[in-house]
C-alpha cells in the first residue's frame, strides 16, 4: 500500500494545474505536491493518478513517489485565499501526495533531446492508459537531475467516467499527433515488445490494490470495491496486447505547432 503521511503545513497553491494542487509539508518532514479529493475533478482523478503512476513505476518509467496524505480540514481556516480555504475545508480525510521534485524544470521539446527508445516507451505507456494530456502545449514532463520524469496522470483512462461504455472506449485507437515526444521518432515496436508482456493480471491486481478504499466506495453499478478494482484492470489488460498497432499520427511527422514555430 502507499505510504501514509499527515499534512502539517500548507505552503502554497500551484496554480499551473486546473485542480489547484498545493505544496504541503507532512509529518515525515517531506514536501509533497498534494491533490485534493475536494477539487472539481473529484476522487476519480486521484484514482487515475495512483493507477497510472504505480503502473508506470513498475514498467521502469520515472514518476514521483506517491503517498496518501491525511488532511484535517481545520487547516483551511487559517488560509487567507478563499478558494484555497474552501478546497482544504472540503478535502478532509485521505488525499494524494507526490514527491516534490525541487528545482525541476518543465520539459521543452525544442530544448531537450529524447532517444527514440525512451520516447517510444512513454508514448506506448500513454497509449495504454489513453493519456490525453501529454501534448506539446502541456507536456506534463519534467527534467530533474538530468532525467525525464512523468507527472499528472489525472486525465487518463477516460472510460472510468462512464463504466457502461468502458469496453468500447478502451478499444479505441490512440491519437499521438499532438504528443510532446512525437518529434523524436518514438520506437513504438520495441516498446511494445518490451512492455506489453509485463502487463499481467497479477501486475494490475498489485497496482489497483494501491487505490485507497475510500476513493472506491459507493461507485454506482459495482457490488464491491474488489469488483471495481478488477474493472480498472480489465481494459488495461485487453489494451496492452494490441495498442501499439493503433497508435496514430506519429509516422515520421513533426508535432503540429512545433516545426517552424507554428
Q: Spell out the residues 6+ positions from residue 2 whose beta carbon is closer than 8 angstroms to its own.
A: 50, 66, 67, 68, 210, 212
- Residue entry with cell 508482456: 197
Q: Is 60 exposed, middle or buried (0-12, 13-18, 19+ CB in 10 A)?
A: exposed
pLDDT category of residue 18 using cuts at 50, 70 and 90: low
- Residue 15 is predicted with a pLDDT of 76
Q: Spell out the residues 6+ positions from residue 30 whose beta carbon is closer than 8 angstroms to its own.
A: 5, 67, 99, 100
Per DSSP, 73 falls in state G
**Residue 205 in grid coordinates:** 491486481
Segment holding 12, helix H or strand E: strand 3-13
- Per-residue pLDDT averaged across 79-99, rounded? 95
Tell me the H-state helices in 95-223: 116-129, 166-170, 188-195, 201-208
- Per-residue pLDDT averaged across 228-233, rounded? 98
Per DSSP, 22 falls in state E
Name the residue ranges covered by the structural domains of the chain: 3-99, 105-261
Q: What is the pTM of this model?
A: 0.93
- Residue 262 is predicted with a pLDDT of 34
- Per-residue pLDDT averaged across 188-197, rounded? 98
- Residue entry with cell 478563499: 82
Q: Give how far the C-alpha of residue 231 lies from the chain's centroid of Cα atoms, to the nearest Å.
A: 18
- CA nearest to 88, candidates 102, 75, 104: 75
Q: Spell out the residues 6+ positions from residue 65 whose beta carbon is closer than 8 angstroms to its own.
A: 98, 99
Between 42 and 224, the higher pLDDT residue: 224
Could you report the per-residue pLDDT of 98-122, keeping only the tens digit for each? 999 999 999 998 899 999 999 999 9
**Residue 134 in grid coordinates:** 501529454
Whether residue 258 has pLDDT greater than 90: no
| Cα–Cα distance measured from residue 128 to residue 244, given in angstroms and rounded to the nearest whole number | 8
| Cα–Cα distance measured from residue 49 to residue 62, given in angstroms and rounded to the nearest whole number | 14
Strand partners, 105: 143
Q: Is 96 helix (H, G, I), strand (E, B) or coil?
A: strand
- CA nearest to 105, candidates 66, 149, 153, 137: 149
| Cα–Cα distance measured from residue 192 to residue 102, given in angstroms and rounded to the nearest whole number | 32
Average pLDDT along the chain: 93
**Residue 206 in grid coordinates:** 498489485
Radius of gyration of the chain (CA): 18
Angle at 166 (CA atoms; ends 197, 209), nearest 5 degrees? 55
Amino acid at each position: 500500500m502507499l505510504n501514509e503521511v499527515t499534512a502539517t503545513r500548507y505552503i502554497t497553491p500551484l496554480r499551473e494545474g486546473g485542480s489547484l494542487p498545493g505544496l504541503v509539508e507532512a509529518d515525515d518532514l517531506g514536501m509533497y505536491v498534494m491533490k485534493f479529493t475536494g477539487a472539481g475533478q473529484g476522487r476519480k482523478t486521484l484514482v487515475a493518478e495512483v493507477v497510472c503512476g504505480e503502473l508506470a513505476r513498475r514498467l521502469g518509467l520515472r514518476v514521483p513517489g506517491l503517498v496518501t496524505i491525511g488532511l484535517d480540514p481545520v487547516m483551511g481556516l487559517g488560509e487567507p485565499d478563499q478558494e484555497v480555504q474552501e478546497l482544504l475545508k472540503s478535502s478532509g480525510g485521505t488525499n494524494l501526495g507526490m514527491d516534490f521534485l525541487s528545482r525541476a524544470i518543465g520539459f521543452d521539446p525544442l530544448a531537450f533531446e529524447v532517444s527514440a527508445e525512451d520516447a517510444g516507451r512513454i508514448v506506448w505507456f500513454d497509449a495504454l492508459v489513453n493519456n490525453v494530456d501529454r501534448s506539446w502545449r502541456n507536456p506534463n514532463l519534467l527534467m530533474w537531475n538530468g532525467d525525464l520524469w512523468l507527472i499528472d496522470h489525472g486525465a487518463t483512462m477516460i472510460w472510468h467516467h462512464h463504466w457502461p461504455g468502458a469496453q468500447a472506449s478502451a478499444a479505441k485507437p490512440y491519437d499521438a499527433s499532438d504528443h510532446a515526444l512525437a518529434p523524436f521518432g518514438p520506437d513504438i515496436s520495441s516498446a511494445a515488445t518490451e512492455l506489453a508482456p509485463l502487463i499481467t493480471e497479477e501486475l494490475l491486481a498489485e497496482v489497483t490494490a494501491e487505490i485507497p478504499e475510500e476513493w472506491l466506495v459507493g461507485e454506482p453499478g459495482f457490488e464491491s470495491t474488489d469488483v471495481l478494482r478488477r474493472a480498472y484492470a480489465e481494459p488495461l489488460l485487453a489494451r496492452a496486447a494490441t495498442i501499439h498497432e493503433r497508435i496514430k499520427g506519429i509516422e515520421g511527422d513533426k508535432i503540429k505547432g512545433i516545426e517552424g514555430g507554428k
